Amino acid sequence: MGRGVPLVEVPDDRDRDCIWRPDSKMGATVANLGSHVFKEMGMGTFVEEVDVLISQQCDVSHSAEASASSALFDGQLGLWSATRAVNVPAMKAGYQGERESYSYRVAGELLPDAERVGFASFAAAFHALADKDVDRLVLPIENSTTGSVLPVLDRLVAAPASIIAESVLEVRHALLGVAGSDVGDVKTVRSHPEALGQAEELLLERGWEAVATHDTAGAVREVAEMGDATQAALAPPESGEAHGLEVLLSDVIDRHHNTTRFVVLAPGDPQVDADDDKTSIAFETSHTAGALALVLTELGLRGANLTRIESRPSIEQWRYRFFVDFVHPPGAAGLGQVLEPPPATIANLYVLGSYRSAMA
């Protein structure tokens, strides 16, 4: 997505040692710049700051350092990338839940080099990104069975971050119980509310009591700790292995197409890269008859293909904010064609992020 880590290289081995040697003062300074200045101010500022440090502490001419400064960009997610060992702290990716949860797995697939950090709630995850305790968030935003994940959706407008990527995961819950137990023993099923909602009809038919927990993987841990054959967890099939649980029933879902859409959030304002063809926005409309219909009509006439629309309460009583995802011609020009100028009946427009569509 055009968010990458600059590499600063100089031609002389002695100078490279001055910059990158892990135990050197210069190496520590550059590492600090890599983890703070770059994330705060961007590539240009990072390179300028390192060039100054090189000229101050290493015997390198300005022309050599300028010609050697370079940037690498690793894919649409802005992953840290380098051609040599660099003493820069690893990226931290936050998610909601515990190890082996769906979010944990998706975070590892999208950001394989990042350290994954779990949080007990979505609110805590958003606070961690705002406080710079993590560099990215990987969060579920909607499911094909239960709809939007509202604790995530409702925080997007106020969050000091933007969506930089999306991914979809087919979700096939399994019923996990203690070793030696049987489906007939189960009386209570524990899981995250979203997972329980995706199997609500099946649980009702079986007569199982649904108990909400903060996370699917957390439910697995709780069932293992209880050691009770009447207790089971609804979770990823593989998540029980570490706790000695067994799969009692597979595909515990109400709809065969059960799929969850995840988004990656990064600090800062939205950026639009050349291959970005999907954008998420939120807006409010003027309080006049047909205002929303006029907005949607105008977006369509400008080339937007709406893939989702949802209304949520705004900060004012009985006023609503609309969340819309749409596919558009790629790049900044394609997005500008749709949103510049904003449709006349929009009162407030929030661009939540642009990214490559992961959905056919």
CA angle at 158 for the pair 260 and 168, rounded to the nearest 5°: 15
d(CA 313, CA 311): 7
Q: How many CA atoms lie within 13 A of 136 on its CB side?
A: 30
From CA 247, how far away is CA 268, in angstroms rounded? 42
Annotation marks residue 73 as catalytic: no
Question: At 75, is the secondary structure helix, strand, or coil?
Answer: coil
- Sequence length of the chain is 360
Write the CA distances from 102 to 216, 237, 246, integer angstroms: 8, 10, 18
The residues, any chain, with a CB within 8 Å of residue 59's CB and separated by 6 or more, are 14, 15
Cα separation values, 357 from 75, 97, 307, Å? 14, 25, 11
CA 209 to chain centre: 32
Which residue in 146, 216, 260, 345 is the catalytic one?
A: 260
Could you confirm whether 188 is annotated as catalytic? no
Tell me if 138 sits within 8 A of 97, measured CB to CB. Answer: no
Whether the Cβ atoms of residue 109 and residue 142 lie closer than 8 Å to each other: no
What CA–CA distance (Å, rounded) separates 234 from 237? 9
On whether the CB atoms of residues 326 and 304 are closer than 8 A, the answer is: yes
Marked catalytic residue, from 46, 262, 283, 326: 262
Catalytic center residues = 260, 262
